[in-house]
Amino acid sequence: MNKIPLLLKILITGVILYTLYYAVINFFLIQPTLRIDTATHYFLMLLNLLAIVYLSYRVIKIKSITYEYKLFWIMLFIIISPIIIYYLWKVDNKKTLESVE
């Protein structure tokens, strides 16, 4: 039970890569080629949140590292997560559009 199953690793990697692709396409292109509906968008964000929670749980379960190191890894997961990156881009884009109007 100490090892992450291969299928779970593939699933977590796929969700994170797909979210990054989705965020980059929607941020850099004027007319994005990838259109998904609101329900799919929130489901994707939920999957990313679950991936962060699971990875944080795995870090907490490691007994051989210090509390500060565990906290560092959890904060790193949160800061570089696709959820945070995507919403920073969306907020920045929204603020830019409001300032132009």
- Over residues 75-80, the mean pLDDT reads 77
Total H helices, total E strands in the chain: 4, 0
Closest to 20 measured CA to CA, from 73, 77, 90, 83: 83
Is the model more confident about 35 or about 44? 44
% of the chain residues with pLDDT over 70: 60
pLDDT tens, position by position, 37-75? 777 777 777 777 777 777 778 788 888 888 888 888 888
Domain boundaries, the chain: 6-100
pLDDT band of residue 1 (cuts 50, 70, 90) is very low
Closest to 44 measured CA to CA, from 94, 80, 74, 83: 83
Residue 32 confidence (pLDDT) above 70: no
